[in-house]
Amino acid sequence: MNVDSIESIISKAEAMSNQHGKKLTPTRKQVLIAMLKSDKALSAYELADSVKKEFDRSIPTMSVYRILDVLMELKLVHKMSIVNKYVACSHITCDHKHSFARFLVCNNCHKVKEIMTNGSTVKILQGNIEELGFKLLNKQLELNCLCHECAG
């Protein structure tokens, strides 16, 4: 992620935050930038380290978790539960709807590819759920993969 695009992503993120009555405070911005600069999903602790390196500023892990909560609520960040790490949304600038995203997560290096899913696939994925008495909370799929480099 180069600097130019990071800046435009951040300003878009700021706009989105304001729309939802939230503020992209300096601390939140630093956390988001740290995530954008990484090509991998990072744990909350790794994020705190990244912010420390990038901005020479220590943030308590507790704050990182709180900030991640806010950023996830705003759909600016996604949690990869299969590795307990967090990744910035790849589509912040593109007025996405977050219909049903698939995440290919490298089990080894934690690189993540986010793929948008089309409407018919969404229907297939949602099929049976209501009939079984379940209610879908989160339209997000994580797939356990190996990336090209790690697959050798």
Residue 100 CB, nearest distance to a copy of itself (Å)?
Answer: 10
Give which of a copy of itself, DNA, none residue 99 binds (C-beta under 5 to 8 Å, depending on kind). Answer: none
**Residue list 104-123, contact with a copy of itself (CB under 8 A):** 104, 106-107, 113, 115, 121
* Cβ atoms within 10 Å, residue 31: 30
| Three-class DSSP category at 68 | helix
| Three-class DSSP category at 126 | helix
> How far apart are the C-alpha atoms of 63 and 70, rounded to whole Å?
11
Structure tokens at 53: 């390196």
**Residue list 35-94, contact with a copy of itself (CB under 8 A):** 81-82
Give which of DNA, a copy of itself, none residue 60 binds (C-beta under 5 to 8 Å, depending on kind). Answer: DNA
Residue number with CB closer to a copy of itself (55 or 65): 65
Residue 108 CB, nearest distance to a copy of itself (Å)?
Answer: 10
Single-letter amino acid, residue 72? M
Residue number with CB closer to a copy of itself (62 or 115): 115
> How far apart are the C-alpha atoms of 125 and 96, rounded to whole Å?
19
Burial (Cβ within 10 Å: 0-12, 13-18, ≥19) of residue 49: middle
Q: Which residues bind DNA (CB under 7 A)?
A: 22-23, 25-28, 43-46, 58-63, 65-67, 70, 79, 84-85
In the block, residue with structure tokens 């759909």? 75
Kindly state the helix (H) or strand (E) to which residue 80 belongs, with its residue range.
strand 77-80
Binding site for a copy of itself (CB under 8 A): 81-82, 102, 104, 106-107, 113, 115, 121, 124-125, 128-129, 132-138, 140-148, 151
